[in-house]
Amino acid sequence: MLLMLCVASLVRPVLAAEAPMTITIGSKSFTESVILGDMLRHLSQQAGFEANHRRQLGGTRVLWNALLSGEIDAYPEYTGTLIQETLVKENLQTESQLKQALAKRGLRMTRPLGFNNTYAIGMKDELAKQLKLRTISDLQNQPELVLGFGNEFMDRADGWPGLQQRYQLPHRNVRGLDHDLAYRGIESGMLHVTDLYATDAEIAYYKLRALEDDLNYFPVYNAVILYRADLEQRAPEVVTLFERLAGRINAPTMSAMNARVKLHGEAESVVAANFLEQNLKLDIDLRVQTAWQRFWRHTVEHLTLVGISLSAAILLAIPLGILAARRPRLGHLVLGIAGILQTIPSLALFVFMIPLLGIGGPPAVMALFLYSLLPIIRNTYAGLKDIPPAIVESAQALGLPSRARLRIVELPLATRAILAGIKTSAVINVGTATLSALIGAGGYGQPILTGIRLDDIGLILQGAVPSAVLALLVQGLFELIERGLLPKGLRIQASELRSVT
């Protein structure tokens, strides 16, 4: 099965390269961006192209770099973000300067879509009334309030650091968390103040008040579509359609679309299609996948990630384990390096791969591969080292050369340990692979990620349960393999040991 997956995954990119040009859209990990991303996908398909939407890829930097490297062709962005964060060093003042700066990098942007999704600082209306807070300046006298901001806001130049400086805010224990989780924190009373996006549907829903930006700290965040300049040659029809969005989406419209997805559970793709049908008079062919199709796609993606990374890890880790057992000095080095790899938090390892391998499948496979090495190397090493010296010496004394000893005597005796290592790696791999969705590689992590964004437990379970079941299946599979592969003489030993204990 692993072999089949390997072949399938090798063949797939080749096929994709030969297909008529595919437009790849990216979106950031919040609902508005995903809805806009789906609009871009519909528009690309409308123009007759194959289109891919890599949903909720991450924050601004991930999308920006993916666009520069050509891994995506377009994504929704905000002018304020570009001026204040991405290109802050260029000290841009106007939108025409911004356009020039983008052109230098081979990028273009459409005219503004029609809404300003500025940041705002908000809190429960009730609490604001109670404390008589109206402006951000008023927060200066409330150092006991708990502040929590979206992770991106926490470290953006135009986020919390600048805000704190401008308003001289005294708050120290400020938490960074997922933007969508922040709303739940506010609702539960654990947080008092957070950053809002002006078009967030939750503002009305949770009865929040945006505090007045009395020192004019936040710039204008006009929504635009950012795309690669070469798209104008490759797919001029698509660019023309993107431009038709300009000026068509005002703040209440965007806010209403966000509400349909976040509060009423409609699919982003449906909301996006409805908008295009009503406002651009386009007839969108909605190819909505059924739940089973989605499940199957996630399963294939997940199995592909696990299959390739685990097979590659087995192929490398067993020889490394043998090397480690044969050459103690090299062994220490190999085990040390693999050990260090394992101490890198898995989430960080995935993100480290982005600058090296971009987004999508390859970096996810690489991260999973690195993560799977240690248990196999260590168990191979231990399995070989644990063979009683009398047996190793007997094999030597017979006159068997080193390689033959390994093949005939040592590896069969280490089978149990090696298989246990592979099993451990496989189970860890299946679980860790859910993080692949964070860097656009899909799998069971995708519904989990969407579920977190939409606060939808059902969706989270759609990813979590199959992932857990798959881990159990993999474990069971390896137990069967163990029964088949374990030399019969060792099975007798095992059963006798069991009957003794």
**Which chain residues interact with another protein by CB under 8 A?**
390-391, 393-401, 404, 408-409, 412-413, 487-490, 492-493, 496
Min separation Cβ 487 and another protein, Å: 3
What distance in Å separates the CA atoms of residue 134 and residue 149, rounded to the nearest whole number? 19
What distance in Å separates the CA atoms of residue 300 and residue 79, rounded to the nearest whole number? 38
In contact, 215 and 168? CB cutoff 8 Å? no
How many Cβ atoms from other residues are within 10 Å of residue 480's Cβ? 9
Beta strand 119-124 with 193-197 is: antiparallel
By beta-carbon proximity to another protein, the closer residue of 207 and 407 is 407
Angle (CA) 46-51-54 rounded to 5° is: 135
What distance in Å separates the CA atoms of residue 368 and residue 372, rounded to the nearest whole number? 6
- Paired with 102 in beta bridges are none
Query: Which pair of tokens denotes residue 37?
Result: 């991303």
Min separation Cβ 322 and another protein, Å: 17
By beta-carbon proximity to another protein, the closer residue of 359 and 395 is 395
Helices 291-326 and 361-385 cross at an angle (nearest 10°) of 40
What distance in Å separates the CA atoms of residue 147 and residue 158, rounded to the nearest whole number? 17
Min separation Cβ 400 and another protein, Å: 6
Min separation Cβ 399 and another protein, Å: 3
By beta-carbon proximity to another protein, the closer residue of 414 and 426 is 414
By beta-carbon proximity to another protein, the closer residue of 154 and 486 is 486
By beta-carbon proximity to another protein, the closer residue of 315 and 391 is 391
Min separation Cβ 479 and another protein, Å: 19
Residue found by looking up tokens 């052109």 in the block: 103
Min separation Cβ 424 and another protein, Å: 23
Query: Which pair of tokens denotes residue 115?
Result: 């809404």
By beta-carbon proximity to another protein, the closer residue of 16 and 391 is 391
Min separation Cβ 392 and another protein, Å: 9
Closest CA to 103 of 72, 78, 76, 82: 82
- Residue 327, C-beta contacts closer than 8 angstroms, at least 6 positions apart: none
Angle (CA) 297-56-76 rounded to 5° is: 125
By beta-carbon proximity to another protein, the closer residue of 101 and 411 is 411
Integer angstrom CA distances of residue 403 from 196, 410, 411: 65, 10, 10
By beta-carbon proximity to another protein, the closer residue of 465 and 490 is 490
Using DSSP's 3-state secondary structure scheme, residue 53 falls into strand
Min separation Cβ 403 and another protein, Å: 11
What distance in Å separates the CA atoms of residue 186 and residue 211, rounded to the nearest whole number? 15
What distance in Å separates the CA atoms of residue 163 and residue 153, rounded to the nearest whole number? 10
In contact, 286 and 270? CB cutoff 8 Å? yes
Q: Tell me how far the alpha carbon of residue 363 is from its chain's centroid.
A: 11
Min separation Cβ 406 and another protein, Å: 13
Min separation Cβ 31 and another protein, Å: 58
By beta-carbon proximity to another protein, the closer residue of 412 and 431 is 412
What distance in Å separates the CA atoms of residue 223 and residue 360, rounded to the nearest whole number? 25
By beta-carbon proximity to another protein, the closer residue of 232 and 496 is 496
